[in-house]
Amino acid sequence: MSDTDMDLLSVRDLRTSYFTRRGELKAVDGASLRVGRGEIVGVVGESGCGKSALALSILRLVARPGRIVGGSVSLEGRELLSLPDREMREVRGGSIAMVFQEPMTSLNPVKTVGWQIAEAARAHEKGLGKRQALQRSAEMLKAAGVAEAERRLASYPHQLSGGLRQRAMIAMALIRRPRLLIADEPTTALDVTVEAQILGLMKDLRSEFGASIVLISHNLGVVAETCDRVYVMYAGEIVEESDVFSLFERPLHPYTAALLKSLPRPDDRSPPGTRLHTIEGSVPDLLARPAGCAFAPRCEKAVPECAVAAPGLAQAEEGRRVRCHLYAQGGSR
């Protein structure tokens, strides 16, 4: 690929497995993705599709019995997977930051929010005084949309609402001026009006700080409103890659299309009680993946070939790739 030099993050053929008593579970099974500078990239899929494992792998935070078994993750041309642990810790504290779903479990309950944000600032910038660090924390909280930021510095996490906690997490992540922010379901635990605030904040941060964002979400609405490009995952694989507009207007992969059709929308016009489109069956057991395409058993458009041969991710249109035999004529992986 010629565009890789331009990219901030480039993940190639990443494989992460969990070694369980029942066998090797391929949580991420050869995922490739790229994130351009200042870009917001979405990774969307249902529970167990591997989207969180992908995020953890980029940060090399996969816990046992999981392990990255292959592939490459490069940030600004620097390979992360072979980096010594100490240098990788600096990357996590510096160039890449992460925001998780439940801020309460990622904040220290016995330290004030101000202490925690200031600690992050000082870890990043040696020689930064305590007072200076606190002042910078207040500024960052303000940038994250927290009113009365100075007063909030003295609050403990339990004294804050879910929305404020998530803002504190975002402030902590951004105080190190990361090049890349990985946000794993950052608004899933929040109410919709707060979700709208946080998503607005993330878009502002992109324009103000120039950070790139990887947004991991199960929520198609959140992805549609926030991202520039989207990767759809199913059963550990990326099944579709597209710019956000084409994806929602004209999904290519039958899974993406079915998912969008089965989604109840607030702007729906059909009379109440109209049945939803359903995807029959459920996601495959990753320890007993079907041969061929993982989605074939649930796919309305499956042809005999789908049960036999696994399709590769192939270019279907300019900037769009899809893992499906329907589009693979003339070229596969």
List of residues contacting other proteins (CB under 8 A): 46-47, 147, 161-164, 191-197, 199-200, 218-222, 224-225, 244-245, 247-248, 258-260, 262-268, 270, 272-280, 282-283
When the beta carbons of 283 and 307 are compared against other proteins, the nearer one is 283
Nearest-approach distance from CB 205 to other proteins, in angstroms: 15
Nearest-approach distance from CB 25 to other proteins, in angstroms: 16
When the beta carbons of 97 and 202 are compared against other proteins, the nearer one is 202
Nearest-approach distance from CB 94 to other proteins, in angstroms: 31
Q: Which residue has the tokens 């890449």?
A: 96
When the beta carbons of 83 and 196 are compared against other proteins, the nearer one is 196
Listed in sequence order, the residues at least 6 apart from 77 whose beta carbon sits closer than 8 Å to its beta carbon are 5
Nearest-approach distance from CB 144 to other proteins, in angstroms: 14
Nearest-approach distance from CB 95 to other proteins, in angstroms: 28
Strands 66-75 and 9-20 come out as antiparallel
Helix (H, G, I), strand (E, B) or coil at 175: coil
Question: Which of 190, 208, 203, 204 is CA-nearest to residue 244?
Answer: 203
CA distance 167 to 99: 10
Listed in sequence order, the residues at least 6 apart from 120 whose beta carbon sits closer than 8 Å to its beta carbon are 93, 172, 175, 176
When the beta carbons of 120 and 302 are compared against other proteins, the nearer one is 302
> 36 and 8 in contact (C-beta within 8 Å)?
yes
Question: Which of 238, 255, 246, 231 is CA-nearest to residue 313?
Answer: 238
**Two tokens, residue 61:** 């935070």
When the beta carbons of 151 and 277 are compared against other proteins, the nearer one is 277
